[in-house]
């Protein structure tokens, strides 16, 4: 899951990046409004953490331009402006959730995960595809009741496919949602992880969950 953090307080931004990354998120940072707006308009993010008081362009106007242009990326506002009227204004402009500073990292993570699940139409923290169950809170997966040990990247790819189960996901899309924007990746990196996942998930099962759609990408599907 890739998240953009737009926060001008650099120390806090750096800490959020670290905290989120250690919990399996991929994080891009923007330190002012103009930079943040540019990034969110040009990169596919699974969620945006938006501070309201920003230099250049303030948070609420970023939010309103985003929504006006039809971009419905989930936005979680984090701000020290915790007045009810500010909250209402933010939510009315199209924010999905609101967290006042100072906040607990646990709460931020929980809300962020819930936000992303809801945006994919899957409000439960447990993603189920056939007999595959993914616990997005614990970041674990099991098939037919047996736990499948996964590396962080493998989990990220599997979770993304599961969130988009039934839909073909291209390699580029996977990379965009799992790696930082300026990460220099090799074209076959996804194929490598997919083959690892297949070994761990599908081996010994008659039904394969991960399918390759030639020329398009990958598809995670429970039913034949």
Partner 1 sequence: MTPLPRSLAGRLLAWQSAAAAAIVLALGLFFHGELRQIVLSAVDRALHSKAQIFTGLLHEEHGQVELELSEIIAGEYVIPRSGHYYRVMRGETILAASPSLANDNFAFGTDAVPSDAGGAGERFFTSRGPAGEPVRVLQYRFRAFGGHYDVTLAESLTGALAMIDKSGRFLLVAVPLGILLQSLTSWWIVRKSLAPLGRFSETIQAITHKNLGERIDPGTTVRELSGIARSFNDMLDRLAHVFESQKRLVADASHELKTPLAVIGTQCDVTLQKDRSPEEYGEAIRSIRSETRNVTRLVNDLLSLARLDAGLTEAAGSTPVRVEELAAHAVRMTEQMAAQQEVRVTVTVADFLRVRGSRPTLEEALLNLVENAVRYNRVGGEVGISASHEEGGDRIAIEVSDTGVGIGGPDRERIFERFYRAAAVRGSEGSGLGLSIVKAIAEAHGGEIRVASEPGRGSKFTLILPAA
Residue 28 CB, nearest approach to partner 1 (Å): 18
76 vs 162 by CB, closer to partner 1: 76
10 vs 211 by CB, closer to partner 1: 10
Residue 7 CB, nearest approach to partner 1 (Å): 10
102 vs 206 by CB, closer to partner 1: 102
Residue 82 CB, nearest approach to partner 1 (Å): 8
10 vs 167 by CB, closer to partner 1: 10
User: Which H or E run includes 176?
Assistant: helix 171-178
HSE, CB side, 13 Å, CA atoms: give it for residue 207. Answer: 12
100 vs 168 by CB, closer to partner 1: 100
First-last CA distance in the chain: 27
The site for partner 1 (CB under 8 A) is made up of 8-12, 15-16, 18-19, 22-23, 53, 55, 80-83, 100-106
Q: Parallel, antiparallel, or unpaired for β 75-79 and 97-100?
A: parallel
Residue 96 CB, nearest approach to partner 1 (Å): 20
List, in order, residues 6 or more apart from 53 with CB less than 8 Å away: 8, 59, 79, 80, 81
Residue 198 CB, nearest approach to partner 1 (Å): 30
SS3 137: coil
Torsion, Cα 54 56 60 64, to 10 degrees, reads -150
Closest to 73 measured CA to CA, from 171, 136, 2: 2
Give the pair of three-digit tokens for residue 160: 């993304």
Residue 57 CB, nearest approach to partner 1 (Å): 14
Surface-to-core class of residue 102, CB atoms within 10 Å of its CB (0-12 exposed, 13-18 middle, 19+ buried):
exposed
86 vs 173 by CB, closer to partner 1: 86
């Amino acid at each position: 899951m890739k998240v953009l953090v737009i926060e001008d307080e650099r120390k806090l931004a750096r800490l959020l990046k670290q905290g989120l990354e250690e919990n399996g998120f991929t994080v891009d940072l923007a330190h002012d409004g103009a930079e943040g707006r540019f990034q969110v308009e040009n990169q596919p993010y699974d969620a945006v953490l938006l501070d309201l008081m920003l230099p250049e362009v303030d948070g609420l106007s970023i939010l309103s331009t985003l929504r006006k242009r039809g971009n419905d990326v989930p936005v979680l506002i984090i701000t020290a402006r915790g007045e009810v009227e500010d909250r209402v204004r933010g939510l009315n402009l199209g924010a999905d959730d609101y967290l006042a500073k100072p906040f607990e990292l646990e709460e931020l993570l929980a809300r962020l995960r819930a936000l992303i699940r809801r945006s994919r139409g899957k409000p439960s923290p447990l993603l189920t595809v056939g007999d595959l169950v993914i616990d997005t809170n614990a970041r674990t997966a099991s098939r037919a009741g047996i736990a499948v040990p996964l590396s962080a990247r493998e989990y990220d790819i599997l979770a993304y496919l599961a969130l988009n189960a039934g839909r073909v996901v291209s390699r580029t899309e996977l990379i965009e949602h799992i790696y930082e924007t300026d990460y220099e990746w090799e074209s076959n990196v996804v194929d490598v992880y997919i083959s690892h996942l297949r070994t761990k998930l599908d081996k010994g099962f008659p039904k394969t969950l991960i399918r390759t759609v030639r020329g398009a990408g990958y598809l995670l599907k429970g039913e034949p």
